Amino acid sequence: MRIEALCTGDELLTGVTTDTNSTWFQQRLLEHGAQVARTTVVGDVREEILEAIQTLSARAEVVLVSGGLGPTADDLTAEVAARAAGVSLVLHEGALAALRERFAVRGLTVTENNMKQVMVPAGSEVVLNPAGSAPMFILRLGKALLFFVPGVPREYRALVETAVLPRIDALRAERGETGFRVLRLLKTVFLAESHLDARVRPLIALHPRVTFGFRTKFPENHLKLMAEGRTREEAREALEAADAAARPLLGDHLFGVDEDTMAGVVGRQLLARRETLALAESCTGGRIADLLTDVSGASAYFLGSAVAYANDLKERWVSVAHTTLVENGAVSQLVAAEMARGARQIARSTWALSVTGIAGPDGGTPEKPVGTVFIGLDAADGNEARAHRFHGDREWVRSASAYAALDWLRLRTRGTAS
Ligand code: ATP
Ligand code: MG
């Protein structure tokens, strides 16, 4: 069954509004086992809308039309739909009653142009709008069923969810096109896409109901599993089987699923262990703190970060010894170790992480090239610093450094506290 979408509105063609309705519909439809064949966007122009409605209804079985159902002069969709069907616009009494009630509750009076919103093409089926005043209507044109819904995202989603998707499901079921899809993202860090692909490749033939996809969000790489089945249970079973087979192949690189974030996972683990974290950041300039505080509730485990860029502040804020700096340079293993120790002492936290490095593009030397980064970790049971060498531009080095620090703590705080 061919499904197409048509969005109307000048604002969608002028960069004023992003067409988020379409991406949302595409995702929801995918989860229902179907797919949008094509999405068309037109402005608030009668001829454009008419031509699109005619073209789409000639080649698709289902057309979802959004926008232009409001009371203003640029809202042309109902009028054009009636013209395409060769019928007139008629007042829908039920929609008018709902409109009057809606306005009465808000202490508003119904104006002349509001009446326009309850005019629908004769012969169409009307579905009242729970979230707004313009109803949706359903019209048959030839072999195509057209759903007309308001463009306001909140109204659009409510109506598509309750009145469009169930009808699409039913139509597909009639045609024996039943199918369900379930999705999962397995999120890895510091595993190059080509390596991820190589590890997972043997699974593809073993899990024919599952599509394996890849997505990069440096330094994360995500494995996207999409399982299909005739029933939801069948799809879910196929997904779980592929998930169980993939996890061991991803090893320690796997840090989370779906909505999980690296900082969120670290935070969850610290919270479960009732432990706290402090930071001393040099070349990441507060980025680790930023990632951690993106997560609501971070104050339960994150105490703070000293962004100690200057040598002097490394001494005064996180107690790095002057001689350590002079003898080793600020970008060194010993300085990273002392930064972490100093941060933990001052913050009285369970853990402290530190970062010092050369993000570039300037500042590299033959001994310490751009991308040289030292990360320190301090806890009651010891103090350690590790040398890293990251490749890429300034942004990549800083991002990789922040992730490497968090990832180290993630691996150290897995399971329950000892
Ligand atoms: P209204 O009764 O509010 O006029 P309508 O059905 O006439 O509703 P539009 O006028 O086209 O819809 O759009 C209403 C609002 O919804 C506008 O703010 C518009 O930017 C937004 N909107 C319309 N289409 C989309 C879309 N495809 N994606 C995201 N937002 C949209
Ligand atoms: Mg409008």
Contacts (Cβ under 8 Å, ≥6 apart) of 363: 370
Residue percentage of the chain with pLDDT more than 90: 89
Position 232 scores a pLDDT of: 84
Tell me the average pLDDT across 297-304: 98
Residue 55: CB atoms within 10 A of its CB come to: 14
Q: In what order do the strands lie in the sheet with 210-217?
A: 210-217, 220-229, 180-189, 254-257
Query: Of all atoms in ligand 1, which is nearest to the CA of residue 22?
Result: 27
DSSP string, 177-228: ---EEEEEEEEEES--HHHHHHHHHHHHHH-TTEEEEEEEETTEEEEEEEEE
d(CA 228, CA 1): 17
Distance, in Å, from the CA atom of 153 to the CA atom of 24, rounded to the nearest integer, reads: 9
Residue 162 Cβ inside 6 Å of ligand 1? The answer reads: no
For the chain, give the mean pLDDT: 95
The rounded percent of the chain whose pLDDT value lies above 70 is 99
Q: Which residues contact 253 (CB under 8 A, 6 or more apart)?
A: 188, 189, 190, 191
**Separation in Å, CA 218 to CA 356, 399, 401, 402, 407:** 20, 8, 12, 12, 14
The arithmetic mean of pLDDT across residues 338-363, rounded, is 97
Residue-level pLDDT at 417? 65
pLDDT at 33: 82
Write out the DSSP string of 273-302: HT--EEEEESTTTTHHHHHHHTSTTGGGTE
Separation of alpha carbons 15 and 19, rounded Å: 9
In 10 A of CB 53, how many CB atoms?
27
- For the CA of 74, the closest atom of ligand 1 is 10
Q: How confident is the model at residue 112 (pLDDT cuts 50, 70, 90)?
A: confident
Phi, psi of 372 (to 5 degrees): -75, 125
List, in sequence order, every residue forming a beta bridge with 211; answer none if it has no partner: 226
Task: Give φ, ψ of 190 to 5 degrees.
Answer: 55, 40
Give yes or no for residue 70 CB within 6 A of ligand 1. yes
Strand partners, 228: 181
CA of 73 to the centre of ligand 2 (A): 8
Q: How far is the CA of 305 from the centre of ligand 2 (A)?
A: 48
Distance CA 376, CA 354 (A): 5
Tokens of 165: 């998707």
- C-alpha of residue 53 to centroid of ligand 1, in Å: 18
Measuring from atom 2 of ligand 1, which residue has the nearest CA?
70
The predicted-structure confidence for 47-72, as pLDDT tens digits, reads as follows 999 999 999 999 999 999 999 999 88
In angstroms, what CA-CA distances link 298 with 75, 259, 280, 380, 410?
Answer: 46, 17, 17, 22, 15
Residue 266 CA, ligand 2 centroid: distance in Å: 45
**CB-based contacts of 87, cutoff 8 Å, min separation 6:** 121, 122, 123
| pLDDT of the residue at 364 | 92
Using alpha carbons only, give the angle 335, 336, 342 rounded to the nearest 5 degrees. 85
What's the pLDDT band for 418 if we cut at 50, 70, 90? low
Enter the DSSP assignment of 109.
Answer: P
Residue 201 has pLDDT above 80, yes or no: yes
Quick one: average pLDDT of 147-163? 97
* Partners of 38 in beta bridges: 4
Stretch among 147-161, 226-240, 341-355 having the lowest mean pLDDT = 226-240
Neighbours of 274 (CB within 10 A): 10
pLDDT tens digits, one per residue of 10-49: 999 999 999 999 999 998 998 888 899 999 999 999 999 9
Q: How far is the CA of 146 from the centre of ligand 1 (A)?
A: 18
* Average pLDDT for 293-322: 97
Give the residue carrying structure tokens 């974030």: 261
Question: Residue 411 gets which letter from DSSP?
Answer: H
Give the pLDDT band (50/70/90) at residue 177: confident
Nearest ligand (C-alpha, residue 156): 1
Say how many C-beta atoms besides its own lie within 10 A of residue 86's C-beta. Answer: 9
**pTM, to two decimals:** 0.69
In the structure, ligand 2 is a single-atom ion and the residues with CB under 5 Å from it are 70, 75
- Whether the CB-CB separation of 136 and 129 falls below 8 Å is answered with yes
